[in-house]
Structure formats: C-alpha cells, structure tokens
Amino acid sequence: MDYDVIIVGGGPAGLSAAVYARRANLKTAVIEKLTFGGIITTTDLIENYLGFPAISGADFGKAIQEHAMKYNPDMIQAEVKLVKDVDGGYEVQTDAGNFTTKTVIVASGAAPKKLGVPGESEYFGRGVSTCATCDGPFFAKKDVAVVGGGDSAVSEGLYLARLVNKIYLIHRRDRLRAEPILQQRFMSLSNVEFVWNSVVTKIEGDKKVNGVIVKNLLTGEEKELKVSAVFIYIGEVPQTGFVDVRKDDHGYIITDENMQTSKPGIFAAGDCRHSLTKQAIISAGEGALAAIAAQMYIEGRLKATQELANPSAPNRHSYGVRLGQTLRAYGKCFVLFAD
C-alpha cells in the first residue's frame, strides 16, 4: 500500500485529519483539487472559530495549511475521481495518478448550490458569483443582489455592504435564518433592501449582468431589479460522487459516531457528512476524530472498541482480549466484563 491514510479534501476537516494522522505516524496524503484551506478561504471574516476572535478566510486557510504541513503529509494537487475497493484497502484514482491506501478519509466538503435559472451559467464570472470576497471589489459603488438568508448570505452581505452602493437581499422566506448576531448587524445597515418571499427566475445581461427578474412567491408578481452582480448563497451540494458509501437523499455521507462510513476503512468528516450543521470548527473536530478512528482501524482496535461497547455482540469477549493485547503495548491494561 502507498499510504496508511489518504484524505480527500484539504479544508479544515482534511487538514485537521492530516495533523492527527501524521502525529500518529501514519503515512498520509492529502489530495486537494482546488485550494488547500478549503471553501472558508473565500470568506471575508471568521469570528466563531475558537482561538481566532477575528481572522480573514485567506489568513485562516494559510494558518491551517501551514500547521498541517509542519507534519509533512504528502500534499497532492489533484482531483479524486473514484475510490475503488482493492485487496487490503482502497485505490484512490485521481487525474494525477492512482494511489493505494489502507484507509480513506473523505473530507471533500460541499460546493455552492446553483439557482438553475436562465442567465446563471452564461454570466458566471461576469456578474454572477458565489464568492463576495473574490468578486465584491469589482462592484464597488454599484447595486448588487444577494440571494439567500442563511449565515453565508448574511456574512457575505455584511462584507459587500461596505463596498457597494446598495444590496437587494432576495430570500424565499419572510425572515433570515442566519445567526442572530449576524442578523442584527445586517438589519441595521442603511443600504440594504429586503425582497422577501421571492426567488430569482432569470439573470439578465448584455456582456455582463445588468439585472435580475424576481418573482414574489405569495402574489406571483414578477419584477426587474437593476443590478450589476448577483451573489448566490442558497446552500450547498456535497461533493461525494467519487465514493460509493451510504448517503442520505441529498448525497451527504452517513457515518457512525466514529466517522466510519458503511464501508470499513472509509471515514468521512466535515461538510460532506450528514450532520446537523456545517461550520469550520465542527469540520476540524470531525477530521481529528476520523484520523484517530482510522488509526484504530489500521491497528485492529476500532472494531474491538465498538464491539466492547455493544453488550449483545457475539465476539465481545474475544475483542476484549485483542483490545487488551493491543493496549498492553502502551503499559498495564485491564479489560473487565461484568457478565
């Protein structure tokens, strides 16, 4: 096997997994198709990651990348196309070659969801954007639309409001669902007009965006807003098509509490995983747990630990003995059974 663990994705989940895997002496590769640091590198300001009261996405991405690189994992710039079963592990097929590994940690995150309306693809990069920090400065003093009502829409709207003349916040509901602290700041801005209960049905332009058509979902009425840009924050689509494990209806990977997927030796962490919410600190924590679980899996301890916790497991006693033998390497060990 080329590696003990291959981590797909170099965001907070993947890089945190890399730190833990390397500190456990596992031969580790992180494969990233775009930017080491992950999608958070595109945001202007992070205020809720413990230890960083206020940091830009770019600086945060740099910090976590440098931290991971301190432990020398192989950092491979490539897109993973397929994870295939092979004897004793998996083959990870990429556009830069194939690698074999005992375990895989899928930390591939989720990509911004598209509106799917006429004009969106045509004007992408010419006024249609999913990254205010990257593209916002091009629209200084112009009128723009932000679509969505969650954390991303509001935090990116806060950033844009400092640059642009006016923001139309277009949201399909009649209230925001972003964190209350972000909502309060956004609601107090003087250059935001809320377009509630509405969806974008068309993006118009000539060579660049020059307007959007919005439809009120309650009245059916359509109107045009003259804007130079449309920033879209309506959710995400998990990037999990390359791996065949159990997923929910939206494609998010389902794991147990140890980040183990339906296939032994494949773990998932972060935004690509079915979970309550998506945040960088949660991804980092899950990445750490996935790496520890991968290490225990390689050492034959993961199953033993799970079986020990399950009183009805038929092999519980033999797992207890095996776990005891492994742990004895670290010093004295007692495995006690009450039954």
Ligand X SMILES: Cc1cc2nc3c(=O)[nH]c(=O)nc-3n(C[C@H](O)[C@H](O)[C@H](O)COP(=O)(O)OP(=O)(O)OC[C@H]3O[C@@H](n4cnc5c(N)ncnc54)[C@H](O)[C@@H]3O)c2cc1C
33 binds ligand X (CB under 6 A): yes
Structure-token pair, residue 167: 């923001």
* Annotated catalytic residue 134: yes
Residues 238-257 that bind ligand X (CB under 6 A): 239, 242
Residues 6+ apart with CB under 8 A from 316: 307, 308, 310, 337
| Lookup result for tokens 């296939």 | 263
Out of 28, 65, 152, 228, point to the residue binding ligand X (CB under 6 A).
152
11 binds ligand X (CB under 6 A): yes
Angle between helices 301-309 and 280-298 (to 10 degrees): 100
Residues 6+ apart with CB under 8 A from 150: 176, 177, 178, 233, 235
73 binds ligand X (CB under 6 A): no
* Annotated catalytic residue 59: no
Give the interface segment with ligand X, choosing from 148-156, 297-305, 311-319, 331-339 (CB under 6 A). 148-156
136 binds ligand X (CB under 6 A): no
Residue count of the chain, please give it: 339
As a whole number of angstroms, the distance between CA 258 and CA 165 comes to 48
Buried residues in 266-280 as b, exposed as e (16+ CB within 10 A): bbbbbbbbbbeebbb
Residues 6+ apart with CB under 8 A from 180: none
Residue 272 Cβ vs ligand X, minimum distance, rounded to whole Å: 6
Residues 44-63 that bind ligand X (CB under 6 A): 46, 48-49
What letter does residue 217 receive in the DSSP assignment? Answer: T
Q: Cβ(296)–Cβ(302) under 8 Å?
A: yes
Give the interface segment with ligand X, choosing from 140-148, 150-158, 172-180, 314-322 (CB under 6 A). 150-158
Active-site residue (options: 4, 131, 143, 271): 131
Active-site residue (options: 4, 135, 143, 271): 135
108 binds ligand X (CB under 6 A): yes
14 binds ligand X (CB under 6 A): yes
Q: Cβ(252)–Cβ(240) under 8 Å?
A: yes
* Annotated catalytic residue 333: no
Give the other-Cβ count within 10 Å of 77's Cβ: 15
Q: Which candidate, 122, 120, 142, places its Cα nearest to that of 130?
A: 120
135 binds ligand X (CB under 6 A): no
117 binds ligand X (CB under 6 A): no
280 binds ligand X (CB under 6 A): yes
How many CA atoms, within 13 angstroms, populate the side-chain half-sphere of residue 1? 21
Residue 280 Cβ vs ligand X, minimum distance, rounded to whole Å: 4
39 binds ligand X (CB under 6 A): yes
Give the interface segment with ligand X, choosing from 63-71, 162-170, 190-198, 280-288 (CB under 6 A). 280-288
Give the interface segment with ligand X, choosing from 20-28, 42-50, 202-210, 221-229 (CB under 6 A). 42-50
As a whole number of angstroms, the distance between CA 223 and CA 195 comes to 11
35 binds ligand X (CB under 6 A): yes
List, by residue number, the catalytic residues.
131, 134-135
Site residues for ligand X per CB under 6 A: 8-14, 31-35, 38-40, 42-43, 46, 48-49, 79-80, 107-109, 152, 155-156, 239, 242, 270-271, 278-281, 283
